[in-house]
Homo-oligomer: A and B are copies of this chain.
Amino acid sequence: MSRPPFTPTVAALPKLVPFVGPEAMERARGRPFRARLGANESVFGPSPLAVAAMREAAGENWKYSDPESYELRAVIAAYHEVPVECVVVGEGIDGLLGLTCSLFLTPGSPVVTTDGAYPTFNFHVLAHGGKVHAVPMRAFREDVPRLIETAKTVCAPLIYVSNPNSPMGTWWTAGDIAAFIAELPPETLLVLDEAYCDTAPEPTSPAIDVSNPQIIRYRTFSKAYGLAGARIGYAVGERSTIEAFDKVRNHYGINRVGQLGAYAALRDQDYLKGAVAQIAASRNRIRAIAEANGLSSLPSAASFVAVDCGADGAFASRVLTGLLDRDVFVRKPVAKGLEHFIRISCGQDEDLALFAGALSDVLASVHA
C-alpha cells in the first residue's frame, strides 16, 4: 500500500514557499498586524465601480464564469490596441508565469533571472525542473545587459525581467527596454513582468508589439488597480504564443467575481489615475520618514519603497523584526547585496504614521 513515486523533479524539490503570508505570521504571533505594508497590495483599494460590480456578482456566483474570459479580454485588448487573441487571462501573474514554464521548460532547461528578483518565478521554474541562472543586480537594478549575455551563454529559452523591479522599485525606461529587446538572442523569450508599470513614470513600458514572438508582457489587477484578492492577471503577446496557453491552462480557473471586478476596474481609468497619485504621495511620505530617521531610500517607480537601514543585513533583520513586533507588517530582501534594505508598501496616512512611530522606536532600541 504505497502511492506512486513523485516525478523526479518533484521528488528533488525542497519544501519551498515563495512568500509566507501575513495571515500565517499573525497566527504564529497570536495577534493581528496594525499596518499591512508588506505585500505590495494597494490599501487605496479598487474603483468603487469595481466594488459595486463584485457585490452584484456575488449573487450570481452559482454560475461558472466564462472560461474564455471574453469580455474582460476584449476590454484589455481594446485598452492596449491589440487583437483579443493576443491576450490571455490567468490567476494573477503568478499563475501565468507557471503556465509559461509549462509551455517552454523541460527538466534541465536553463532560465535566466536576477538574484533577488521575484521568487515566485523561480518557484515555478524549479517546479518544472528548470535550472535558474541568477545574475546579481547592478546598482540595485536588474542588470538586463548581463541577463541577455547570460542567456546567450547558457542558451536559455526564458529570461525574466521585471520593470519596475520588486523588491527595489528600480526601473528602466521604455527606450532602454526596447533596446534590450533588440538584443535578445534568437529562440529566447523575454518574460517581461510589468506588475508595477501602472505606478511608474512615463515612459517606462515600451509600446506593446504583438508581432514580436520573443516577448510576453505580464500585467495585473493586483497592484495599482487594488484587486490583489481577485487573482486576475493577464499576458499579452504574439498570437500563436498566447493561444498555446489554452493547451495548458485551467480553463475554468478564473473566478466570476474577480473577472467582473477587473472588467469594471479597467474601465475606470479616472479612478486609477487618482490611486496612482495617492501611491506616489505615499512613496514620498515613506522616503521622508526614512530620511527623518537618518536613513536613505531608493527612488521607486513601484507601490513600495526600499529603505536602506544603513548597516549590514543582520542589522536590517533586527529592524525588520522590531517592526513586526510593533505590529507593522513589512518585508525585506534576502539576496546578497540587498540584505541591508527593508521594503515598505505604500499605505494610508494612518498606516504610515504607525510605521514612522515604530521605525523611530526600533532604531532607538537597536542602536541602544
Interface of A toward B, CB cutoff 8 Å: 1-8, 10, 13, 15-19, 21, 23-24, 27, 36, 39, 41-46, 51, 54-55, 57-68, 70, 91-92, 94-95, 98, 102-106, 120, 123, 127, 157-158, 186-189, 212-214, 222, 226-231, 238, 241, 243-244, 246-248, 250-258, 261
Q: Please judge, given known A-B contacts A6-B103, A7-B105, A61-B54, whether A250 and B68 are in contact too, CB under 8 Å.
A: no
| Residue contacts A-B, CB under 8 angstroms, 27 given | A3-B187, A3-B189, A4-B104, A4-B188, A7-B102, A15-B247, A17-B67, A24-B70, A27-B70, A39-B63, A39-B64, A43-B62, A45-B59, A54-B257, A55-B55, A61-B226, A61-B227, A61-B230, A62-B228, A62-B229, A64-B222, A65-B229, A91-B91, A92-B252, A94-B251, A95-B253, A120-B252
Say yes or no: B91 contacts A64, CB within 8 Å.
Answer: no
How many copies of the polypeptide does the oligomer hold? 2
**Is A187 a contact partner of B5 (Cβ separation < 8 A)?**
yes
Residues of chain B contacted by A226 (CB below 8 angstroms)? 61-62
Determine the distance from Cα of A189 to Cα of B5 in the docked complex, in whole angstroms: 10
> Pick the contact of A231 from B10, B45, B255 — CB < 8 Å?
B255
A187-B27 Cα distance, complex, nearest whole Å: 37
Determine which of B3, B212, B243 lies in contact with A241 in the assembled complex, contact meaning CB atoms within 8 Å: B3
User: What are the residues of chain B within 8 A of A44 when measuring CB–CB?
Assistant: 62
Closest 7 pairs between A and B when the two form their complex, measured CB to CB: A229-B256, A4-B157, A54-B58, A23-B66, A61-B229, A3-B213, A91-B253
Known: A2-B213, A257-B255, A257-B258. A62 touches B45 (CB 8 A): yes
Q: A67 with B19: in contact, given A3-B214, A54-B257 (CB under 8 Å)?
A: yes
Assembled-state Cα–Cα distance A213/B3 (Å): 5
A224 nearest CB across to chain B (Å): 11
Taking a contact as CB atoms under 8 Å apart, the answer to whether A10 and B102 are in contact is yes
